[in-house]
Amino acid sequence: MLEDTAQFHTMTEGTQADWDIIMTHLTPHARNGGVRVLEHLRLLEGDCGGFAVDRLTHCLQTATRAHRDGRSEDYVVMALIHDIGDVLGAYNHPDIAAAILKPFVSEELLWIVQHHGIFQGYNFFHFLGLDRNMRDQFQNHEHYAATVEFIDKYDCPAFDPAYDTLPLEFFEPMVMRLFEKPKTSIYKKAMG
């Protein structure tokens, strides 16, 4: 076995020495999460899914609009990756984005990204035979208005091929900063 790998074959046999080794690998890997998020965003390029712009451009436009409106860096990154799960989870893409963001953003931003699909549905669910007012089940939730605002101001109009969209490179430093260290996580202390 390699010297820099844990020696156990089942988690019940792990030792402090094993976990010290594992953490020397995990810490830099975890802090480099932004790189993996950016790589995955690039997978959205060229996939239009029938829309007027590809999925990456839609994400970039959403983030560009939020940035130009003076939103916080965390909000802008949430806007950027809100549809990152499109290629993995056609029926639950908001859940994928929420899972990625959960340790790094506020409860409000997490709620917005996790529910944006139902809220955006107001604009098209009726064309699919669904209830466009499905979001009304959340009308008394404290983040309802913030989610409606996200849809109306940033997500909804972000399908414009003529919009002056900022490139992914503009957002890279923001992504790297956000994913460098969790704000909430059972591993926060361990990650230093």
Q: Mind listing the pLDDT tens digit of every residue in the chain (192 residues)?
A: 456 888 888 888 888 888 888 788 877 777 778 899 999 999 999 988 888 999 999 999 999 999 999 999 999 999 999 999 988 888 889 999 999 999 999 999 999 999 999 999 999 999 999 999 999 999 999 999 999 999 999 999 999 999 999 999 999 999 999 998 888 766 555 555
Q: Is residue 128 part of a domain?
A: yes
Q: Which of 32, 11, 15, 23 is nearest to 190 (CA)?
A: 23
Quote the CA–CA distance of 54 and 33 in Å, as a whole number.
24
pLDDT at 1: 47
User: Has residue 77 been placed in a domain?
Assistant: yes
- Identify the CATH number of the domain in which residue 124 sits: 1.10.3210.10
Tally the domains of the chain: 1
Q: Is residue 126 a part of any domain in this protein? A: yes
pLDDT on residue 188: 57
Helices (H), 84-155: 93-101, 107-120, 144-150
127 found inside a domain? yes
In a domain, 164, yes or no: yes
Measured over the CA atoms of residue 56, residue 91, residue 116 and residue 160, the dihedral's sign is positive
pTM for the model stands at: 0.89
Domain that holds residue 96: 31-178
The predicted pLDDT at position 55 comes to: 96
CB 30 within 8 A of CB 186: no
pLDDT of 2 reads 59
Q: Is residue 1 part of a domain?
A: no
pLDDT tens, 77-106? Answer: 999 999 999 888 888 899 999 999 999 999
Residue 162 lies in a domain: yes
> Cα torsion for 53, 56, 59, 61, to the nearest 10°?
-50
Tell me, what's the pLDDT at 87?
Answer: 85
Residue 113 lies in a domain: yes
